[in-house]
């Protein structure tokens, strides 16, 4: 038997129960110690090309002979082996294992928030008690949210934590509010995680925010390609993760912008006890990376707990072993600073770290919608609130916005937003979203009204008897539940005016939906005009008026042009001319063939009258047909996922059976022809267990986009014994493509076709090399599957674990198929304007300091606006942008009034170097390719 086989046999005999034995009086202890030292010595020799093999093999024979003759390796034998290996003892001790205690605390994973609070409090109490008992013991804890829990529920503990922090024994590894998902949250969420975490913890614990330079994401399921760029701009230097990548352990992760962070990928696991095996990989790791220290994270986790007494005692004991590395209590910061000295020699990774758990981009869809809506509402609310504050001095509620962002960020935890939690997880999340929506909606609504109230609308006023009208106060709360602003009635009479607000930094010509309350005029004689008196096309969406809590309302589509980040005023009146031709359906005059074609100046789409699919989609500019006659567009499919893989919340099962739901549908509400602003066809289908699908396919006359407004009554429940039900939407295309473009946080990425779900922020687009590409967009979905056959969007999945009934009920889903000719900036702006409709608010007649039409801010169109807010210290407005096309350049932003100062800042709103210039009302600045930028402009 060779010495290595002998060593392997000894390992099996003596190490099986060693983790339970830390008693020097126990014979098993000495056998295990001896075997581990021999294994470490062999690894040491292997890293030096076998230099010590003979010495080690002789020592193995000593141990083997003792085991063969006595059946044990005693203290005496171990001492003899250690003595024989003494020549390499100094070499053995030249390597260090830096041991950092850790308690992975999942936010509301398999339990409710009350249990999360107790897990946090009890874990921290244990760590503080162990620190009193073991003066060398160190501990690191991430996630600002757990410190918020302690501050709120056990504030007296903060003083103890603060003391240990300042001793250097409690390391704060939190750069983010939670250990969040890194594919679904957008750039603004990532920025707020860094901003609010550093701001909060530096004040709470009296520490320099610059020391919060580690982003600790051990269990996060995937990492988007722009993480290094965002972290660098937030003064974070180091990254720790476990999932999403399985190659290098220590490496530089490089963003498309060129900025890099130093990354340690956990080679074993983040929930790990201290074990002698931890030493065996040290020599190879250290030699490979040119340093003398390896990192060992240890501690019980997921449900908290942290390091145990046994862990601590093992570190103390194994550090005394002569043929072993130095085991030391340390910190992450110590390790990263040491590793940084040789980082130029480490490999560079230039890619996303994806993908794992592909089901988590669609599981528990209500939480996905909550996240998307929460982000969009807060960004839009901050934008209009900041503009209102700059122009009129209205209050900007920084504290309320911060609190709302904290709720959205908490729900971005990697077991909440991905949907891998229990019923309690989901219920708590939805309650937090409602509170965030409340903050966003009230501030957004009041800010739009404030802008409306300072615009001069006096020219539109007429004398009317309004003594018998009842529209004031009508519609309270109307429209809010689906992400709109409140559509309350604020005026009376036949003539009414409305403010239409555009929160995007580019001009928009679109249809806006206007709600009119208790109007006494003839709906067939409505006339709409812009601020210059020009007639506007409109379409009344329903005959007569609908009742809502004692009042009557009509919804009208009006085609309107709104300047960038500004507003316009539109006027409703009753037409005086008898030849006025209304866009309202007054009922049939004679029978005609059903017209299943939706057509405007840009595209022509034909729908199959039997199944509702799109059997033709033509770009009228080029004549190109985007539908293969064998594969119609826009198919809703019912998928039976195979259950053998298990873990249904985390993984999408293999597609076992796929059925089209576009069969024998009921077509209704057909509005086609050039007289309509919005042509539409609605169809309905019943399927499976009394589930229902209602789809309205529409085409506005100003867009090359087919919209699919979908309501699903989902009654499907998965079963491990049969299949997991899925609803998806399929878009095959007629052209060849080799890559698919997806939007990701702070940009886009091109991926190869692959038969699995991959994450995207809001769209996927198979790239057509010879013309416009087909783009599939969604307002609330993240899981796309692009194969060589086409692109599908996973809409609903009935996973069964850990929440057995996550999707039962009604779901509202907005999707669109669009032709996109432009660059990445244009595709991103198209998807963002699809998700963010024009804001309409009833206005009043009054004098004002601003005209009836006004752009409040203009941004050059080669960059993407991420957010607009008032600076945390109130010193000015923060404008955050990014460049997605890989082209550095020169940008401008034009304000309504002249800035006093302008400077470049980072995500933490701290000044940094940057070329910037003020010329009258315009600020000019340089931007980097693929980079994030932030301006602080004061007035």
pLDDT band at 12 (very low <50, low <70, confident <90, very high): confident
Count how many Cα atoms sit within 13 Å of the Cα of residue 427 in the half-sphere of its side chain. Answer: 10
* Burial tier of 897 (Cβ tally within 10 Å: 0-12, 13-18, 19+): exposed
Three-state DSSP class for 859? strand
Integer-rounded Cα Rg, in Å, for the chain is: 32
Q: Parallel, antiparallel, or unpaired: how do β-strands 214-217 and 238-241 relate?
A: parallel
Token output for 174: 């939190």
Neighbours of 477 (CB within 10 A): 12
The residues, any chain, with a CB within 8 Å of residue 299's CB and separated by 6 or more, are: 101, 102, 103, 104, 271, 272, 305, 306, 307, 308, 311
Q: What confidence score (pLDDT) does residue 763 get?
A: 98
Comparing C-alpha atoms, which of 381, 539, 414 is closest to residue 870? 381
Q: Where are the beta strands (DSSP E) in 473-587?
A: 496-502, 508-517, 526-529, 535-536, 538-540, 546-548, 551-562, 566-574
pLDDT, average across residues 840-863: 94
What is d(CA 486, CA 479) in angstroms, rounded to the nearest whole number? 6
Q: What confidence score (pLDDT) does residue 108 get?
A: 97
Q: Is the dihedral of CA 359, 365, 367, 371 positive or negative?
A: positive
Q: What confidence score (pLDDT) does residue 654 get?
A: 96
pLDDT band at 198 (very low <50, low <70, confident <90, very high): very high
Token output for 23: 């008693």
Q: What confidence score (pLDDT) does residue 524 get?
A: 86
582 has a pLDDT exceeding 70: no
Q: What confidence score (pLDDT) does residue 414 get?
A: 97
Q: What confidence score (pLDDT) does residue 520 get?
A: 86
Strand partners, 668: 682
* Torsion angles phi and psi, residue 764, rounded to 5: -130, 150
Token output for 686: 């019943």
Q: What confidence score (pLDDT) does residue 486 get?
A: 86
pLDDT band at 595 (very low <50, low <70, confident <90, very high): confident
Three-state DSSP class for 223? strand
pLDDT, average across residues 610-620: 95
In contact, 702 and 688? CB cutoff 8 Å? no
Query: Which residue shows structure tokens 């309004």?
Result: 466
Q: What confidence score (pLDDT) does residue 20 get?
A: 53
Query: Which residue shows structure tokens 């991926």?
Result: 751
| pLDDT tens track for 132-185 | 999 999 999 999 999 999 999 999 999 999 999 999 999 999 999 999 999 999
What is d(CA 696, CA 680) in angstroms, rounded to the nearest whole number? 6
Q: What confidence score (pLDDT) does residue 481 get?
A: 82
pLDDT band at 236 (very low <50, low <70, confident <90, very high): very high
Comparing C-alpha atoms, which of 748, 758, 749, 822 is closest to residue 785? 758
585 has a pLDDT exceeding 80: no
325-359 residues labelled b (16+ CB within 10 A) or e (exposed): bbbbbbbbbbbbebbeeebeebeebeebbbbbbbb
Q: What confidence score (pLDDT) does residue 467 get?
A: 76
913 has a pLDDT exceeding 80: yes
Instruction: Find the DSSP H helices in 725-880.
Output: 824-835
Comparing C-alpha atoms, which of 878, 880, 773 is closest to residue 824? 773
What is d(CA 244, CA 412) in angstroms, rounded to the nearest whole number? 17
Residues in the chain: 939
pLDDT band at 594 (very low <50, low <70, confident <90, very high): confident
23 has a pLDDT exceeding 70: no
Least confident segment among 169-173, 189-193, 397-401, 585-589? 585-589
| pLDDT tens track for 521-537 | 888 899 999 999 999 99
Q: What confidence score (pLDDT) does residue 15 get?
A: 75
Count how many Cα atoms sit within 13 Å of the Cα of residue 182 in the half-sphere of its side chain. Answer: 27
pLDDT band at 22 (very low <50, low <70, confident <90, very high): low
702 has a pLDDT exceeding 60: yes
3-state helix, strand, coil in the chain (%, to 5): 30, 30, 40
546 has a pLDDT exceeding 90: no
Token output for 14: 């003596």
CA dihedral 590→595→598→602, nearest 10 degrees, is: -90
What is d(CA 572, CA 515) in angstroms, rounded to the nearest whole number? 11
Q: What is the mean pLDDT of the chain?
A: 94
Q: Is the dihedral of CA 546, 549, 550, 555 positive or negative?
A: negative
Please give the DSSP secondary-structure letter assigned to residue 59.
H
857 has a pLDDT exceeding 80: yes
What is d(CA 474, CA 452) in angstroms, rounded to the nearest whole number? 19
Instruction: Find the DSSP H helices in 235-361.
Output: 282-289, 309-318, 332-340
pLDDT band at 593 (very low <50, low <70, confident <90, very high): low
pLDDT band at 490 (very low <50, low <70, confident <90, very high): confident
What is d(CA 487, CA 198) in angstroms, rounded to the nearest whole number? 38
What is d(CA 813, CA 819) in angstroms, rounded to the nearest whole number? 20
Query: Which residue shows structure tokens 């076998």?
Result: 50
Q: What confidence score (pLDDT) does residue 308 get?
A: 96
pLDDT, average across residues 915-933: 97
pLDDT band at 242 (very low <50, low <70, confident <90, very high): very high
370 has a pLDDT exceeding 80: yes
* Torsion angles phi and psi, residue 617, rounded to 5: -140, 110
Q: What confidence score (pLDDT) does residue 713 get?
A: 98
The C-alpha angle with vertex 376 and arms to 372 and 380, in degrees rounded to 5, equals 175
pLDDT, average across residues 372-398: 97
577 has a pLDDT exceeding 70: no
The C-alpha angle with vertex 538 and arms to 534 and 539, in degrees rounded to 5, equals 170
Q: What is the 3-state secondary structure (H, E, C) of 696-739?
A: EEEEECCCCEEEEEEEEEECCCCCCCCCEEEEEEEECCCCCCCC
822 has a pLDDT exceeding 80: no
In contact, 11 and 35? CB cutoff 8 Å? yes
| pLDDT tens track for 645-701 | 999 999 999 999 999 999 989 898 899 999 999 999 999 999 999 999 999 999 999
């Amino acid at each position: 038997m060779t010495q290595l086989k002998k060593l392997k046999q000894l390992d099996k005999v003596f190490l099986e129960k060693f983790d339970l034995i830390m008693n020097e009086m126990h014979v098993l202890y000495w056998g295990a110690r001896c075997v581990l030292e021999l294994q470490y010595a062999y690894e040491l020799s292997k890293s030096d090309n076998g230099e010590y093999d003979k010495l080690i093999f002789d020592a193995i024979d000593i141990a083997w002979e003792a085991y063969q003759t006595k059946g044990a390796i005693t203290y005496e034998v171990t001492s003899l082996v250690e003595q024989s290996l003494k020549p390499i003892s100094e070499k053995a001790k030249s390597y260090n294992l830096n041991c950092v205690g850790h308690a992975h605390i999942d936010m509301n994973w398999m339990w409710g928030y009350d249990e999360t609070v107790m897990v946090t409090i009890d874990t921290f109490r244990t760590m503080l008690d162990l620190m009193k008992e073991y003066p060398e013991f160190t501990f690191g804890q991430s996630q600002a949210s757990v410190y918020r829990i302690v501050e709120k529920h056990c504030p007296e503990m903060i003083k103890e934590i603060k003391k240990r922090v300042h001793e250097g024994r409690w390391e704060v590894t939190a750069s983010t509010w939670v250990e969040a998902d890194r594919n679904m949250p957008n750039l603004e969420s990532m920025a707020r995680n860094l901003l609010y975490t550093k701001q909060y913890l530096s004040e709470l614990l009296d520490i320099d925010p610059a020391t919060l330079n580690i982003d600790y994401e051990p269990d996060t399921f995937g990492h988007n390609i722009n993480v290094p760029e965002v972290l660098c701009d937030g003064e974070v230097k180091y990254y720790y993760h476990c999932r999403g990548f399985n190659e290098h352990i220590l490496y530089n992760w490089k963003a498309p912008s060129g900025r890099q962070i130093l990354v340690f990928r956990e080679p074993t696991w983040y929930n790990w006890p201290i074990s002698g095996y931890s030493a065996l990989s040290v020599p190879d790791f250290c030699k490979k990376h040119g340093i003398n220290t390896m990192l060992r994270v240890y501690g019980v986790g997921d449900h908290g707990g942290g390091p145990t007494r046994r862990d601590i005692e093992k570190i103390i004991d194994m550090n005394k072993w002569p043929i072993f590395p130095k085991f030391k209590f340390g910190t992450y910061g110590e390790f990263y600073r040491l590793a940084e000295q040789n980082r130029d020699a480490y490999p560079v990774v230039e890619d996303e770290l994806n993908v794992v758990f592909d089901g988590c981009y669609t599981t528990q869809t209500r939480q996905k919608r909550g996240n998307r809506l929460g982000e969009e509402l807060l960004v839009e609310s901050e934008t209009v609130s900041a503009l209102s504050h700059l122009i009129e001095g209205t209050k900007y509620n920084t504290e309320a916005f911060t609190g709302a962002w904290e709720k959205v960020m908490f729900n971005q935890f990697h077991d909440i937003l991905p949907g891998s939690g229990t019923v309690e997880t989901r219920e708590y999340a939805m309650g937090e979203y409602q509170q965030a929506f409340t903050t966003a909606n009230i501030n957004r609504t009041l800010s739009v009204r404030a802008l409306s109230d300072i615009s001069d609308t006096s020219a539109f006023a007429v004398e009317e008897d309004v003594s018998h009208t009842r529209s004031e106060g009508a519609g309270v709360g109307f429209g809010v539940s689906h992400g709109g602003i409140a559509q309350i009635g604020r005026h009376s009479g036949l003539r009414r005016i409305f403010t239409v607000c555009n929160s995007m930094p580019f001009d928009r010509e679109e249809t806006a939906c206007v709600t009119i309350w208790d109007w006494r005029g003839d709906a067939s004689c409505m006339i709409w005009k812009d601020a210059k008196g020009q007639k506007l096309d409109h379409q009344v969406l329903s005959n007569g008026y609908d009742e809502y809590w004692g009042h009557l309302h009509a919804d009208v589509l009006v085609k309107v042009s709104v300047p960038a980040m500004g507003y316009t005023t539109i006027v409703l009146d009753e037409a005086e001319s008898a030849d006025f031709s209304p866009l309202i359906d007054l009922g049939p005059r004679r029978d005609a063939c059903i017209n299943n074609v939706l057509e405007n100046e840009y595209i022509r789409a034909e729908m199959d009258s039997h199944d509702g699919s799109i059997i033709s989609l033509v770009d009228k500019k080029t004549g190109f047909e985007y539908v293969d006659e064998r594969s119609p567009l826009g198919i809703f499919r019912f998928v039976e996922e195979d259950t053998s893989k298990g873990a249904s919340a985390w993984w999408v099962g293999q597609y076992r059976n796929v059925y089209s739901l576009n069969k024998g549908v009921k077509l209704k509400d057909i509005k086609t022809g050039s007289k309509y602003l919005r042509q539409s066809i609605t169809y309905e289908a019943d399927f499976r267990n009394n589930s229902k699908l209602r789809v309205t396919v529409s085409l506005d006359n100003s867009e090359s986009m087919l919209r699919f407004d979908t309501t699903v009554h989902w009654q499907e429940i998965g079963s491990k014994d049969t299949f997991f039900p899925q609803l998806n939407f399929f878009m095959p295309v007629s052209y060849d493509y080799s890559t698919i473009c997806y939007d990701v946080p702070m940009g886009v990425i091109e991926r190869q076709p692959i038969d699995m779900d991959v994450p995207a922020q809001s769209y996927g687009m198979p790239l057509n090399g010879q013309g416009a590409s087909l783009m599939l967009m969604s307002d609330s979905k993240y899981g796309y599957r692009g194969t060589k056959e086409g692109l599908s969007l996973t809409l609903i999945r009935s996973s069964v674990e850990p929440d057995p009934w996550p999707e039962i009920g009604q779901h509202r889903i907005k999707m669109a198929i669009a032709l996109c000719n432009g660059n990445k900036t244009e595709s991103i702006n198209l998807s963002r304007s699809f998700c963010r409709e024009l804001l309409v608010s009833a206005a009043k007649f009054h004098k004002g300091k601003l005209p009836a039409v006004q752009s409040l801010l203009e941004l050059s169109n080669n960059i993407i606006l991420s957010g607009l807010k008032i600076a945390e210290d109130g010193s000015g407005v923060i404008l955050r942008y990014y460049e997605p096309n890989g082209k550095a350049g020169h940008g401008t932003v034009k304000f309504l009034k002249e800035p006093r100062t302008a400077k470049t800042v980072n995500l933490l709103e701290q000044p940094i170097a940057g070329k910037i210039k003020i010329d009258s009302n315009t600020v000019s600045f340089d931007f980097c390719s693929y980079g994030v930028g932030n301006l602080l402009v004061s007035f």
